Amino acid sequence: MGYLSQSLGMSDREASSLSSLYESDPSSRIEILRSLASMSTQSAFFSPESWQSMGNSMCLMCLKFPSASEESEPLIVASFILRVSKEQAPLPLLTEDENLKFCAKTLVALSLFMPAMQRRTARHATPSPDYYRRASIEILKSKSQAHRALASHHRAWENFLGEHLNTSP
């Protein structure tokens, strides 16, 4: 409770009540997360106490995405970010990364590592960043409705993530 109450400025009692509601009523979880996302500040996302709170922070941040057309779309993106953060090589590789792993790495790389993607194309004659984007979109279109929604918002997600996660000056 300490992280939730500290980062959102609520008492431990309020955080405990909210947590109880979240656990007891699964149908209200998305709305609770959306409400928390609207209450939070960007600085709350960059001071996680643990890996779990980092996952919660990513979910809250992604729930702020204004154009999501499916409830699970922001949660998919949050899981993509967490998945890529565990990778030793965050840039997508056509020869090694498959399906959703490729899509996750592509979305994160285009959001945060565009200069590296462009350098790799210029120096090593790899496909362009736009080629990776198109390939990722095509893979996402072949998956669930939420993945298809993500495909239609791919570039908007790139911009959103770049704006909220890029710490470069």
CB neighbours (10 Å) of residue 114?
14
pLDDT digits 0-9 by tens, 43-82: 333 333 433 456 677 888 888 888 988 888 998 999 999 8
3-state DSSP helix/strand/coil % of the chain, to nearest 5: 75, 0, 25
pLDDT (0 to 100) of residue 123: 95
pLDDT digits 0-9 by tens, 111-156: 999 999 999 999 999 999 999 999 999 999 999 999 999 999 999 9
- Residue whose entry in the numeric block shows the structure tokens 């955080």: 15
Instruction: Give the pLDDT band (50/70/90) at residue 35.
Output: low
Do 168 and 114 meet the contact criterion of CB atoms below 8 Å apart? no
The yes-or-no verdict on residue 32 having pLDDT over 50 is: yes
Which among 55, 80, 38 has a CA at the least distance from the CA of 3?
Answer: 55
125 HSE (CA, 13 A, CB side): 0
Q: CA-to-CA distance for 79 and 41, rounded, in angstroms? A: 20
Instruction: Give the pLDDT band (50/70/90) at residue 22.
Output: low
| 2 burial level (CB within 10 Å; 0-12, 13-18, 19+) | exposed
The yes-or-no verdict on residue 159 having pLDDT over 80 is: yes
Residue ranges covered by each domain of the chain = 1-64, 66-169
Instruction: Give the pLDDT band (50/70/90) at residue 36.
Output: low
pLDDT digits 0-9 by tens, 3-16: 444 445 567 777 67
